[in-house]
Structure 1
Amino acid sequence: MRFIHCSDIHLGKTYRSVFAEKQRYEDFFQMLSGIVADAVDKQVDFMLIGGDLFHVGQILPKTFARTIETLQPLKDAGIPCIAIEGNHDWVHRRDNVSWMEALSQLGYICLLRPQRTEEGGYHFAPFDVEEGCGGHLQIGDLNIYGVGYIGAQAGNHVERICKAVETQNNLLLFHVGVWTYSPVEIGNMKPEEAHPLAETFSYVALGHGHKPYVVETPAGNGYAYNPGSPERVNFGEQKYDKGYYLVEVEDGGFTPAFIPTDPRPMHVEKVDLDGTTNAAEALQRVVEQVTALLADNEDSRQPLLELKLTGRVKFHPFELGRERLQAALADFANPLHLEVKNQLSLHTKSASADDEKKSLSEIEEDVLHELISADSHYQGQEDELCKLALRLRDAVQQGVNDGDELLALLEGDR
């Protein structure tokens, strides 16, 4: 027997921009389509999805339709697709059927979800194909159980999960992270809390964290496997391997092989702009650094790019907006999506002992001069514009509120 174990597909994820929305939306469906094609080509016995099939619980109808289209080859080939709900799949209002439940009722997935007893224990009812629900199904002599996302207290549930299982040759599908392995900060349990699972389940198919990892027993035997997400979902994942597991089962032993995928290129670059005097100079530094970053890039697809701008500059940081940076990078980098983390700070004049002796009007003039100087467009005109602004201020303070009179001050200064 052999099967595919993937997780965290995040169908429906995109960027809300005219440049990226359609292409990025397609990335995740194309990735799942490739995994499905591999499952059909290798004639696996079943396919596992360890949660977060969707990016949000309330998906668009077109996303549901595309999901059915993408999973159709599995159904046509008679390959069961067994799934659990991740934290992204959750529908908090339980008065409606969720999209995951709808897929299960239509026969495109087998959604495993355990029942809870009055005492707080677990009950894994046999999967009902007609109803599309249950917590346990059997394929060959392998017993497959499923537990979706149960939050930060998952480690406290391990004993009750194991106690509810009375079969042999068991596999658990579980949307949870394990500390020290998982890159996410919530929904994890400690390794010592996870280890008892190895006594009941020969293979624990994890999901949740987007980085692949293997959890080992204290004796060094792998028992829990997280394939991560096959596509890069968030910035920061450019450093992770991306793929899924093809698992061979023989004589009760599980041998997973990690199959790499080919996600869209993603880059995160920190650009130090400390000391730059105007936006044009800073923009040139950004262009030079991104050019060097992409010099060896052989992927023809538009990359996802995040820029972290740091340093103290002598112009207003807001002058380096996303649109201006996107335009400057369009000709050579042409990012599908540009994320900007603007951590620039304005270089201000340090206070001196003489400043303490200045009058309020002198301090106001200094502050105004510095604010005008911060805009690259006004550099070299600071004195002239500062005097004009002060004349307007003085006129208003003297009771001049007629628009024409105030306008005359501006006209007379031209």
Structure 2
Amino acid sequence: MATSACTFLHLADVHLGCDRYDSPERSKDFFLAFRDVVRRHAIQKRVDFVLIAGDLFEHRQIQPGVLNQAQLVLRELKQAGIPVLAIEGNHDSRPYGVKTSWLRYLADHGELILLEPEEGEQGLELHPWSDGRGSYLDLPCGVRVIGSQWYGSAAPKSIEQLAAAIRQLPPGPERVVLMFHHGLEGQIARYQGALRYRDLLPLREVGVGYLALGHIHKSYAEEGWIFNPGSLEATSTAEWDLPRGAYRVRWGEGPPQAELVQDYYQRPCQRLYLEAKGRETPAEIAAAALAMAKEVGPPGDGPEPLVELRLVGQVGFAKHELDSRALQRQIQQLTGALVVLFRFEANSLEIGSAALSLEEEQRLQVEEKIYRDLLSSHAHYRKRSKELAQLLLDLKERVLEGQSEAEIYTRLSGAFVGEED
């Protein structure tokens, strides 16, 4: 007898209440993304259920308005007859010593199904969901969904315990989903404590056919059974370029077929790179940045963008000499951005701002004196300090003008013709 297909929407890392950049509108983006992806890909396309694999909220303690955002979306799903199954992530898990969480509050009020293993004498125990409590639920569409919690550094050991507990479950649907909030190694840089693929294999051996991950804000899939959708919205500029979305899954005969959906409300992001060469004044840097902003232009019919300006390369002035706040305001006016972020990532040249703030002739005199002082301190170069200082100034100009290494080498070699080692 053929197995009828079921469909579900796999979300993670919604982060309602994310409040970076001190912008209420930006915080609202996370709610709008959550509501829009649910309306488009769960309610309008009639899925059988929705999974939230951790971090529905940004903070463990939330404001009333953030709770209301969650309730508005969850009630739309409830009215549509679509159950929502969730687990706690590291952001919304209960604080140490506290017996409840906001996810537990929502579960107790019938707005979602919170699946949680229990600690037993022999390790983790899985109990069927009943009267608002439980660890797993067999759904009418022929899928068993099992929950877990945020385990942190204990994740490898917890996986072994979960596998042992799954092995002891009574017979049920062959299609098994496990929600697990943790990351897989090799997906993003500088992530300590990521799981290795082989750490997850005990789950596959006990029949888990769809491992619904969360935690890493980048979408990825492994070997046709491990899926991580990424966050719905970027929580920082470092995530702007990461693929993310939600998985809309159809599971019939054979392995699950997961499609990453990204066509829902997301605020546009624009990153500008300005490379300094070391000769520009603060005013020239500001003018170049504004010229780049003019090319971005004001937004169209969509939401105002987030704009980030990164100043890279080398500068010959101190960071405080560039009025970054005024520059941000001007860029905001030109682009219509909701938020303008400025990153001063350029390295300062040793000569410093005092030399470059002088007229060109005075600047060259100061640079020459610095070079001559350095050369005079070395016995081998003392007699030629003036000549070599001029050479260094010439070489610097050639580098800034973009001359080739061959041309620069020819100039340098000519200065030392006949020089003994």
Q: TM-score, normalised by structure 2?
A: 0.75
Is 1:172 matched up with 2:178? yes
| CA deviation after TM superposition for structure 1 residue 289, in Å | 3.1
In structure 1, the residue matched to 2:134 is: 134
Q: Deviations over 1:93-127 (max 9, x none)?
A: 433531111011111111111112234x2111222
The structure 1 residue matched to 2:14, chosen from 9, 12, 21, is 9
Q: How far apart, CA to CA, are the structure 2 residues paired with 1:123 and 1:182?
A: 32
In structure 2, the residue matched to 1:376 is: none
Partner AA of 1:86 in structure 2: G
The structure 1 residue matched to 2:305, chosen from 303, 319, 339, is 303
Q: How far apart, CA to CA, are the structure 2 residues paired with 1:347 and 1:123?
A: 62
CA distance 1:299–1:275, shift in 2 (3 Å): farther
Is 1:241 matched up with 2:246? no
CA distance 1:317–1:285, shift in 2 (3 Å): same
Secondary structure of the residue aligned to 1:147 is: coil
Identity percentage of aligned residues: 30
* Contact 2:12/2:52 (8 A) holds in 1: yes
Secondary structure of the residue aligned to 2:312 is: strand
In structure 2, the residue matched to 1:287 is: 290
Q: Deviations over 1:108-154 (max 9, x none)?
A: 111111112234x211122233xx33211110232111112211342
Secondary structure of the residue aligned to 1:69 is: helix
The structure 2 residue matched to 1:312, chosen from 311, 314, 327, is 314
Q: How far apart, CA to CA, are the structure 2 residues paired with 1:126 and 1:183?
A: 38
Q: How far apart, CA to CA, are the structure 2 residues paired with 1:348 and 1:241?
A: 40
| CA deviation after TM superposition for structure 1 residue 321, in Å | 4.6
Partner AA of 1:3 in structure 2: F
* Contact 1:175/1:208 (8 A) holds in 2: yes
In structure 1, the residue matched to 2:208 is: 201
Larger RCO, structure (CA 8 Å, separation 6 or more):
2
Partner AA of 2:103 in structure 1: M
Give ranges in structure 2 of 5+ residues lacking alignment. 1-5, 352-366, 378-421
* Contact 1:91/1:98 (8 A) holds in 2: yes
CA distance 1:234–1:163, shift in 2 (3 Å): same
The structure 2 residue matched to 1:328, chosen from 330, 348, 368, is 330
Alignment of 1:2-401 (within 5 A): 2-17=7-22, 21-38=23-40, 39-95=42-98, 97-119=100-122, 121-129=123-131, 132-140=132-140, 141-165=142-166, 166=169, 167=171, 168-182=174-188, 185-199=191-205, 200-216=207-223, 222-251=224-253, 253-262=255-264, 263-292=266-295, 294=296, 300-349=302-351, 351-352=370-371, 354=373
* Aligned-residue RMSD, C-alpha: 2.5
* Contact 1:184/1:209 (8 A) holds in 2: no
Partner AA of 2:238 in structure 1: G
| CA deviation after TM superposition for structure 1 residue 257, in Å | 1.8
Secondary structure of the residue aligned to 1:326 is: helix
| CA deviation after TM superposition for structure 1 residue 274, in Å | 2.9
* Contact 2:118/2:124 (8 A) holds in 1: yes
Q: How far apart, CA to CA, are the structure 1 residues paired with 2:326 and 2:293?
A: 15
* Contact 1:232/1:264 (8 A) holds in 2: no
Q: How far apart, CA to CA, are the structure 1 residues paired with 2:231 and 2:302?
A: 22
- Shifted more, 154-163 versus 25-34: the winner is 154-163
| CA deviation after TM superposition for structure 1 residue 286, in Å | 1.5
Q: Deviations over 1:154-192 (max 9, x none)?
A: 233322211101344311011111112356714520012
* Contact 1:317/1:345 (8 A) holds in 2: no
CA distance 1:177–1:126, shift in 2 (3 Å): same
* Contact 2:332/2:339 (8 A) holds in 1: no
Q: How far apart, CA to CA, are the structure 2 residues paired with 1:332 and 1:275?
A: 26
Partner AA of 2:120 in structure 1: T
| CA deviation after TM superposition for structure 1 residue 208, in Å | 0.9
Secondary structure of the residue aligned to 1:143 is: strand
* Contact 2:299/2:335 (8 A) holds in 1: no
In structure 2, the residue matched to 1:390 is: none
Q: How far apart, CA to CA, are the structure 2 residues paired with 1:182 and 1:348?
A: 35
* Contact 1:322/1:338 (8 A) holds in 2: no
Q: How far apart, CA to CA, are the structure 1 residues paired with 2:63 and 2:197?
A: 37
Q: How far apart, CA to CA, are the structure 2 residues paired with 1:195 and 1:297?
A: 48
* Contact 1:308/1:342 (8 A) holds in 2: yes
* Contact 2:315/2:349 (8 A) holds in 1: yes
Q: How far apart, CA to CA, are the structure 2 residues paired with 1:205 and 1:62?
A: 28
CA distance 1:41–1:197, shift in 2 (3 Å): same
* Contact 1:236/1:268 (8 A) holds in 2: no
Secondary structure of the residue aligned to 2:34 is: helix
Secondary structure of the residue aligned to 1:177 is: coil
Partner AA of 1:162 in structure 2: A
| CA deviation after TM superposition for structure 1 residue 26, in Å | 1.5
* Contact 1:265/1:299 (8 A) holds in 2: no
CA distance 1:271–1:91, shift in 2 (3 Å): farther
| CA deviation after TM superposition for structure 1 residue 266, in Å | 1.5
Q: How far apart, CA to CA, are the structure 2 residues paired with 1:315 and 1:240?
A: 34
